[in-house]
Amino acid sequence: MKRALVLFLIGFFLCLAATLSWGQVPAGDAQPRPKPRFKVMHMKNGQALIPAIRQQSSSGTIIPLWNYSLVSPFDKLSYSGQMVGRSPFYHGYRSTVIQSYLIPVKLTFSDGTVLDPTVSNSCLGATTLSVVQNSPIFQTTDWIMNGVDVGTAQYIDAFQRADFWSDVSVAGNSYHNSLALNTEARVSVSVPAADGGVFPFICNEGQIDINWWDGLVENTILPSLVLKGVGPKGVPIFLFDSVEMCDTFSNGNCGILGYHNAFTPGGVLQTYGVADFDNSGLYGGDISVLTHEVGEWMDDPLTTNPTPAWGNIGQVSGCQNNLEVGDPLTGTLFPAVTLGNFTYDPQELVFFSWFFRQSPSIGSGGAFSNNGTFNTSPPSCP
């Protein structure tokens, strides 16, 4: 039902896009679907806090983390970092369950428009929350990645198995990093006119200022959820229904559909993620945003994992030097998977070996991403 309606409306949406600054294609030309983007956030004083965070992980105060260290054959420099779960290099014989807190966010805009993941969306034919709950972010199915059956798992768990396949495969089905789903009560937020607004499409698209929102998350929303059991031993995931974010709402530059971040209230690490589920038809890809951000959270939870520089690919103009496994393939989807009565579109994600220029790749099928779009390491940048 969702897909039929989106296909019908997409021409209408894309024509509107030209007048609403979604693209810069001259009038009369075919209007492309706007490409989503994702914000790279940085934990304050991240590198300085790593020793304390390692201790917190060892004591079980926060989410489980494992440490890696390697010398890249590309630049002969040493790199180290932290990932969520347990090390795949320990012969792959480890399985970890991480608590996740799915938090639907009801946003009420100054014009009275309400965008709420817990209310049935007419363009979806269901609630966004229920579709996400039943998605491969939290439910399991069998996955083939680069021609290799990496097992029955959630999508990000399967990606992580494929990412380190040369080590994980020797242990059969023993290595997993899965998410336990805990759905929290809806959070209701009123958006000031200065910090957000709505485009009146048939299925509305909201916009909010990312800095206003992130400040609200860290200073108000997450502290209010502590008494409900949402804390540093798990990952809160905030879910929007058709709401994108802007670098600065008053100046535009929107199209941000998700991010992950970390901070240290009381000196203790708290990671979290924010993701939109697009029902407007402008971006498409349904859970692609969630797969992008949950994958990046798992591989770069502190937002501090350095890599040799890479760039000029995916959503990136210029160079980045971080382990953000979604950014190089932003907008590139993994083959669709159907669970229940819904067909989901995860995003393709990039392997560890691509960032560090390991050859051969330790990923499944010897590729450098989990659907083979990357079959070589990136060139130097610049």
Whole-angstrom distance, CA of residue 122 vs CA of residue 203 = 8
- Looking at the whole model, is its pTM more than 0.75? yes
Q: Which two tokens stand for residue 264?
A: 């240290």
Whole-angstrom distance, CA of residue 69 vs CA of residue 44 = 22
Find the mean pLDDT for residues 254-276: 96
Look at residue 33 in the predicted model and tell me its pLDDT. Answer: 65
Lowest mean pLDDT among 67-81, 196-210, 342-356: 196-210
Q: Which two tokens stand for residue 15?
A: 């024509």
* Domain assignments of the chain as residue spans, ordered by start: 35-366
Output 94 or 222, whichever has higher pLDDT: 222
CB–CB of 196/207 below 8 Å? yes
79-125 per-position pLDDT tens digit: 999 999 999 987 667 899 999 999 999 999 999 999 999 999 988 99
Output 170 or 105, whichever has higher pLDDT: 105
* Residue 339 pLDDT exceeds 70: yes
| Arithmetic mean of pLDDT over the chain | 90
Lowest mean pLDDT among 37-46, 173-182, 257-266: 37-46
Find the mean pLDDT for residues 291-300: 98
Chain centroid to CA 140: how far?
A: 18
Look at residue 49 in the predicted model and tell me its pLDDT. Answer: 94
* Residue 237 pLDDT exceeds 70: yes
Whole-angstrom distance, CA of residue 366 vs CA of residue 100 = 31
* Residue 246 pLDDT exceeds 70: yes
CB–CB of 244/254 below 8 Å? yes
Lowest mean pLDDT among 15-19, 194-198, 266-270, 290-294: 15-19
Query: Who contacts 57 (Cβ-Cβ below 8 Å, separation ≥6)?
Result: 63, 64, 65, 82, 269
Output 273 or 199, whichever has higher pLDDT: 273
Look at residue 91 in the predicted model and tell me its pLDDT. Answer: 65
Output 87 or 200, whichever has higher pLDDT: 87
Neighbours of 87 (CB within 10 A): 16
* Residue 26 pLDDT exceeds 60: no
Whole-angstrom distance, CA of residue 375 vs CA of residue 279 = 33
Look at residue 14 in the predicted model and tell me its pLDDT. Answer: 35
Find the mean pLDDT for residues 61-69: 97
SS3 153: strand
